[in-house]
Chain A
Amino acid sequence: SQKIEQNSEALNIQEGKTATLTCNYTNYSPAYLQWYRQDPGRGPVFLLLIRENEKEKRKERLKVTFDTTLKQSLFHITASQPADSATYLCALPGGLVFGKGTRLSVIA
């Protein structure tokens, strides 16, 4: 069955540094991947979608890469801020399979 894994449950970094989150998938060749942000007590909010023919996509301080050979997507937040602290989820197409998420804490 399709499986998606996010390598870290939690990641702590200092303000101003770049946070890098990893998403690996198996038993699937997705046409795209999505990344979402979830704050405590709230539903996930869509951040970025990257297609299989896109190596990289950027949105403000966010950058996502997609390596179909490694079956991996990397999510970067540059110049991180305490307000970036949240859980970040990756999802396969259709959103039917979500990773468990990585809880990012940015320390001032």
Chain B
Amino acid sequence: GAGVSQSPSNKVTEKGKDVELRCDPISGHTALYWYRQSLGQGLEFLIYFQGNSAPDKSGLPSDRFSAERTGGSVSTLTIQRTQQEDSAVYLCASSPGGGTSLGDYYNEQFFGPGTRLTVL
């Protein structure tokens, strides 16, 4: 079946512009995550959605970053007034999910291919 898809695959923008990154999770998955990965670095958690619960935004690095998930499916990550340090690969993942407690389920995450963002 179809996996997690992300668009665009590459995005080049100028400093100060806003960008929107899209994630289409696997159908039926209730949990959705956004991460970013800078060159040679590990995955940095950004935001997590679980069903209809309020999202966990604890990883967002600044108020320039926001995300929404419409209808419990597609998610958009928006970065306003981009800075050069925002350049990274942005990865989305979904999982079947379960429960409202972040640590109380045993599900693997299915990752998309990522969006490579370059801010000039």
Contact = CB atoms under 8 A, between A and B. Distances in A.
A31 B43 CA distance: 21
Interface string B90-120: 0101010000001111101111111000000
B62 interface: no
Contacts of A49: 106, 108
Contacts of A95: 33, 45, 93, 95, 109
Interface of B: 4, 33, 35, 41-43, 45, 48, 56, 59, 91, 93, 95, 102-106, 108-114
For the complex, would chain B's binding face be called helix, strand, loop or mixed by DSSP majority?
loop
A89 B42 contact: yes
Given A43-B91, A43-B114, A51 B41 contact: no
Interface residues of A, number: 23
A92 B35 CA distance: 14
A95 B108 CA distance: 8
Interface string A19-47: 00000000000111010100001111110
26 contacts: A31-B104, A36-B109, A42-B113, A42-B114, A43-B93, A43-B111, A43-B112, A44-B91, A44-B93, A44-B111, A46-B108, A46-B109, A49-B108, A51-B106, A89-B42, A93-B102, A94-B48, A95-B45, A95-B93, A95-B95, A95-B109, A96-B59, A99-B42, A100-B41, A100-B42, A101-B42
